[in-house]
Every structure is written in structure tokens, then in C-alpha cells.
């Protein structure tokens, strides 16, 4: 593993921004049954950090979907690999993602979840890469960082399953 990695967002920058977004969510969801849905695998690091900083009682569930396989471009076909454990009827659902790129994953997920009659469904993402959006209708309520059109790794994001555990967001430099 001798790839050279350029740091795009440091651990400190990420922590500061997550705290700000968590405070915003805490204000917006006061008195509501907030239910975080973490999208595995990439969303797990962000979800943990965010949840710890939201100052409200909340519940959590996990869903695993995939549209990338081992490539760096979305196949456009989203597969549910692991569904939620619990019903979401009547809950205020906040989907927590590591990145929104083409929007294929989220536009599919929102449709699937809305059919289960939640009270509301909103999106929270660590990274948004708007230049790559194919599904323009995806609306994101909370975005930590907007990033350029580069293939990103770290903080949950992998390249062929490696690099998820980097504590920062980076890009592999072409050598």
C-alpha cells in the first residue's frame, strides 16, 4: 500500500464541522422522534460522530446498499444488501450518508423509505459532490462539505474496500 494520499479535509476540520451540523439538527428536531438511518458501509464513521454530538434522544438503524461494486463510477443499479431492522412508520427519519455523488443511491432509497409511511424523511451527508449529480431531484437538508469531482477516500469511504479507516478525507495522487 504505497499510494500517495493528498489530504483534502483534516480530522480537525471534519470534527468541527460535524459538531456544527449536529447542533443544527438538535435545534431542528427538538421534541420529535428522530430516527437516524446509517447507510453502510461508508456512512458508519460519520454516523457515529454525528450521533454522539446530537443532544436529543434518538434511535438508530442501519441499511446497506451498493451501486459501485469495486469500480469508481456508479452502475446506476442500487441493491439492498441489508434492510432496516425496524419499521419507520410515524418516525422523523434522517438518512446519514458519507457522500452523495450521482444521487442514484439516495433517490432510490428515498423512494423505498417513503413507501413505509415515515412522518418525514431528510438527508444528512458528510460530503456532496454536486458536479456529478445525475438525479437532480435529490434534496439534501444537511451537508458538511461540498467537494470537487475527485474520487475520495477516508472517513468511511473506500477504494476497493481499503482506506475506510483513514481519520481524514483524502485523494489518491496519480503517480
Ligand X SMILES: O=P(O)(O)OC[C@H]1O[C@H](OP(=O)(O)OP(=O)(O)O)[C@H](O)[C@@H]1O
Ligand Y SMILES: Nc1nc2[nH]cnc2c(=O)[nH]1
Nearest to 167 by CA among 46, 4, 11: 11
Shortest distance in whole angstroms from residue 138 CB to ligand X: 8
Q: By CB under 6 A, which span of 30-38, 76-84, 135-143, 152-160 interacts with ligand Y?
A: 152-160
Q: H or E element: which one contains 5?
A: strand 5-9
Q: Does 91 bind ligand X (CB under 6 A)?
A: no
Pairwise CA distance, residues 135 & 153, whole Å: 22
Q: Which of 11, 24, 28, 158 binds ligand Y (CB under 6 A)?
A: 158
146 and 117 Cβ atoms separated by less than 8 Å: no
**In this chain, which residue has its C-beta nearest to ligand X?**
42
127 and 106 Cβ atoms separated by less than 8 Å: no
**32-51 binders of ligand X (CB under 6 A):** 39-43
Q: Does 157 bind ligand Y (CB under 6 A)?
A: yes
64, burial (CB in 10 Å: exposed 0-12, middle 13-18, buried 19+): middle
DSSP reduced 3-state for 76: coil
CA 24 from centre of chain: 17
Shortest distance in whole angstroms from residue 18 CB to ligand Y: 18
Q: Which is nearer to ligand X, 32 or 141 (CB)?
A: 141
For the chain, state the CA radius of gyration: 16
**Options 92, 98, 101, 128, the catalytic residue:** 101
Q: Which is nearer to ligand X, 12 or 149 (CB)?
A: 149
Q: Does 74 bind ligand X (CB under 6 A)?
A: yes
What does 118 interact with, of ligand X, ligand Y, none (CB < 5 to 8 A by kind)? none
Q: Is 85 a catalytic residue?
A: no
Catalytic residue numbers?
A: 101
| Residues forming the site for ligand Y (CB under 6 A) | 68, 99, 101, 151-153, 157-159
Amino acid at each position: 500500500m504505497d499510494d500517495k494520499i493528498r489530504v483534502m479535509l483534516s480530522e480537525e476540520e471534519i470534527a468541527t464541522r460535524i459538531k456544527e451540523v449536529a447542533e443544527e439538527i438538535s435545534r431542528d428536531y427538538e421534541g420529535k422522534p428522530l430516527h437516524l438511518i446509517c447507510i453502510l458501509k461508508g456512512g458508519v464513521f460519520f454516523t457515529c460522530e454525528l450521533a454522539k454530538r446530537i443532544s436529543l434522544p434518538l434511535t438508530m438503524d442501519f441499511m446497506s446498499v451498493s451501486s459501485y461494486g469495486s469500480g469508481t463510477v456508479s452502475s446506476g443499479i442500487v441493491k439492498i444488501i441489508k434492510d432496516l431492522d425496524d419499521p419507520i412508520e410515524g418516525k422523523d427519519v434522517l438518512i446519514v450518508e458519507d457522500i452523495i455523488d450521482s444521487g442514484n443511491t439516495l433517490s432510490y432509497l428515498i423512494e423505498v423509505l417513503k413507501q413505509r409511511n415515515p412522518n418525514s424523511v431528510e438527508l444528512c451527508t458528510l460530503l456532496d459532490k454536486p458536479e456529478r449529480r445525475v438525479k437532480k431531484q435529490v434534496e439534501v437538508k444537511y451537508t458538511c462539505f461540498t467537494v470537487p469531482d475527485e474520487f475520495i477516500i477516508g472517513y468511511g469511504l473506500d477504494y476497493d474496500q481499503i482506506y475506510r479507516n483513514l481519520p481524514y478525507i483524502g485523494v489518491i495522487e496519480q503517480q
